[in-house]
Amino acid sequence: MEEKSLKSSILSLISEKYNPSNVISTQISSPKYMSRSEICDVLQRIAPLEKDTVIIINDHDRSTPTATIIHYLRELQKIPFPVTFFVATGTHSPTPLTAAQKLSDWKEGDKLIVHNCDNYNQHTFVGITSRKTEVWVENLVVTAKNILTINSVEPHYFAGFTGGIKSIIPGLAARKTVEQNHRWAMKQEAQILVAEGNPLFEDLWEAGNLCRDLSQIQTIQMINHGEQIKYLAVGSLKSAFNYAKLAALEFFGFPMTEKVDHIISFVAPPLDRTLYQAQKSMENVKKVLKDGGTFLLIAVCDDGIGNSNFFQRFLNYNSPQSLIKKLSFKHYKFGDHKAFYWGKLADRAQIYYMGNLSDEEIQTAFMTKISLDNLTNLLEKWNKKKETLLVDVAGGFTSCYVKND
């Protein structure tokens, strides 16, 4: 069954089988998006880019409407010269083809570079943060005369928020740097929607400041839902990000008065392509799930597991309890944080899955694959017990939390 058809079928089932008074549905907070003229009015504030400017853009694992922004910048004559587009992949590995899909307004002489975190010949060592992160970054970040970053800001389950400095660190950082920074995700203070006091978030910005004077980097930070743009901030990197961060909290944040018994999450594109990315939907709403509850993850995962580092931990440990016990900040290896978070949820809740991954893969990840018939039975049972159900319609983007918790 196709993803859209599956979602429609499940929503119909919920409507048919469940008492609506016990159902909470997350919805994007406002249907009003920026018009073309409103977007262009904001982009007019960008200083015209000079020759040899480097424009840092997101990879295909982010929903940022990069092509739209580039098109408008061309129309406004903010990009009069050939430029270099640098795809900030972090530790992801998109091909040049998938990277190029982020652009549609090429001009003669434009260049496209895709970051490779393992090519240390292309990286410069710029120093060590106070948290002992060794910072290696792409040479162009240090040497480029002019840089513009284009990014979207959303809740992030251990960095607090996406966007901002993430275009550079981890976006254009070496694997060693990302690994050392991401070990801080094992700390309790590294939480979604938390910036100040979040050790991982603070380490990212400190690392970025070692690369160059961040106040000299122009940026476009936006809140978007697919191709539609809700909010746009331009200016220096930290200032524009701080404005967008507040808008992201209002747009994607979903405050609740109490926890629920069950959650059904429809992972939104492009996060639904791999299990690695789909986990974000679990992390974004897990705080509102009662212990002993149920989480149903719905993600097609047509590209499979994705980055397999975290999945290897599942293979090494045969239970969530064993995984939680063995993984730690002190002995951190890249991928541990994702496996640790996954294990923590699996230890206190039943996790079900609907999508294209195999039964074997799903069982390895401490989940159970179910069918529509199985779900029908579950809904009838939950409804009979008058248990509460959260339907997360934009999984991986919406962030639910209990007020004053």
3-state secondary structure 66-107: HHHHHHHHHHCCCCCCCCEEEEECCCCCCCHHHHHCCCCCCC
How far apart are the C-alpha atoms of 398 and 239, rounded to whole Å? 24
The dihedral over CA atoms of 318, 285, 87, 141, expressed in degrees to the nearest 10, equals -100
Phi and psi of 296, rounded to 5°?
A: -110, 115
For 337-394, the pLDDT digits (tens) are 999 999 999 999 999 999 999 999 999 999 999 999 999 999 999 999 999 999 999 9
pLDDT at residue 58, as a whole number: 92
Q: Residue 177: enclosing H or E segment and its boundaries? A: helix 175-182
What phi-psi label fits residue 176: left (phi over 0), alpha (psi between -120 and 50 degrees) or beta?
alpha
Average of per-residue pLDDT across 246-258: 93
Which segment of 40-54, 124-138, 165-179, 204-218 scores lowest on mean pLDDT? Answer: 40-54
pLDDT at residue 186, as a whole number: 96
- What is the pLDDT of the chain when averaged over all its residues? 93
Phi and psi of 86, rounded to 5°?
A: -115, 115
Rg (CA), the chain: 21
Share of the chain above pLDDT 70, in %: 95
pLDDT at residue 106, as a whole number: 72
Residue 54 pairs with which residues in a beta bridge? 84, 147
Retrieve residue 399's tokens: 């962030």
Which segment of 118-132, 307-321, 329-343 scores lowest on mean pLDDT? Answer: 307-321
DSSP assignment string, 260-275? EEEEEEEEPTTGGG-H
pLDDT at residue 59, as a whole number: 87
For 110-154, the pLDDT digits (tens) are 888 999 999 999 999 999 999 999 999 999 999 999 999 999 999
pLDDT at residue 63, as a whole number: 85
How far apart are the C-alpha atoms of 167 and 147, rounded to whole Å? 11
Smallest CA-to-CA distance from 100 within 113, 117, 115, 82 is with 113
Question: Is-contact 388 260, C-beta < 8 A?
Answer: yes
